[in-house]
Each structure stands twice: as structure tokens, then as C-alpha cells.
Amino acid sequence: MAIAAFVLGLVSIPLHAQNPNIDSDYYFANIFAGGGVSTDGTARPASGIAGASAGIGTIASKVWGLGFLEFIETGVIGPLATRNTPTGLIGYDLGTTILTSHKPRDIPFAVAGYSYILSVGNAINYGIGVDHYYKPERAIRLEIRDYYTLSTTHQHNVAIRVAWNFGVHDD
């Protein structure tokens, strides 16, 4: 599903927004934190992640209920399976949403993208989650994300993340 979201995002220009209550370009940001596990065949006891992301989008189709988004993220992840200390990361992601009603409070999404983890190297990331809107431009996000490293250690770095989303629309 994450690969389909990534491919769908690549062919969708302009990219589209996450909040269906806004009809124009939508700029958003979030602050996230979470915990999980890092493994290269043997599981580590615990791993953490914290950071921020920002992006832009627009509604793709109110009829079909599709939305798309594009964003960058930066943060700290770790310790990883092959490292004993946390390390930095930066990423570029595309995502898609499926709107289940005209003004839904809960919006499921899928994301996929590229990340560079400083102490390990290149990685792909993918995940799913839900945004719960408690105000028109404010949401709490819950997601599960895997940062799969492409280096010789081939490790999964899976985290459950909680984020506070906030945004502004461009009229």
C-alpha cells in the first residue's frame, strides 16, 4: 500500500492536501515523537524518534475522496541496530489520503519516501496512520513508520509516532 501511495504521489502534480475542509493550497507542519524497535536480524530493546516536518498540498478530488501531500522531515532517530547512540535524519515524502465524508474528523493516510540517516546512509521510509482533526486546521496524528536502510546492514527501524499537526490555507 505504501508503494502504491508513493507511485500515485509521483504522478500527481500539483500535489494535494490533507485537510478536506480547505479548498485551496494547504501548508502544514507537525512536531512528532515516538518509540519503536530497530533490528538487523536481532531486535534491540528500544529505539526512539523525534523531529518535525513541513509540507504543502491541495485537494485532488472531492468526488473520489482523494488527497495528496508532499513534505520534508528532519529529526533524530535511534539508537539503531548497528549504533549505540541516536543519529540525525532528513527525508522527503509523498502521501495520499482517502476522505470518507465531506468533512471527516479522522483521515487515514499512507506515506512513502526517501530518508538519509546520518550514521547509516540511504533509507526508504513508508507507513500508515490517521489524523484526528479537533479543529479545522489542528490535528493529532498517530502513525507507524518503518525506515528501512539500504546499506549493507539492511535494518528496519520501526516507530509508532504521535504528532501535533497544524496548518494554514492559501486563499
Residue 63 sits in a domain whose CATH number is 2.40.160.20
- Residues with Cβ within 8 Å of residue 88, at least 6 apart in sequence: 74, 75, 76, 77, 117, 118
Q: How many domains does the structure of the chain reveal?
A: 1
DSSP state, 56? E
Mean pLDDT of 57-76: 74
Nearest to 34 by CA among 144, 148, 156, 167: 144
pLDDT at 164 over 60: yes
Q: What are the angstrom distances between the C-alpha of 58 and each of 87, 138, 146?
A: 33, 16, 26
The residue with greater pLDDT, 112 or 170, is 112
Confidence of residue 63 (pLDDT cuts 50, 70, 90): low
Digit-coded pLDDT (tens) for 135-156: 888 999 999 999 999 876 788 8
Rounded to an integer, what distance in angstroms lies between the CA atom of residue 65 and that of residue 99?
A: 5
Over the chain, what is the mean pLDDT?
A: 78
Digit-coded pLDDT (tens) for 45-59: 678 899 999 987 655
Range of the domain at 33: 2-170
The residue with greater pLDDT, 111 or 14, is 111
- Percentage of the chain beyond pLDDT 70 is 70
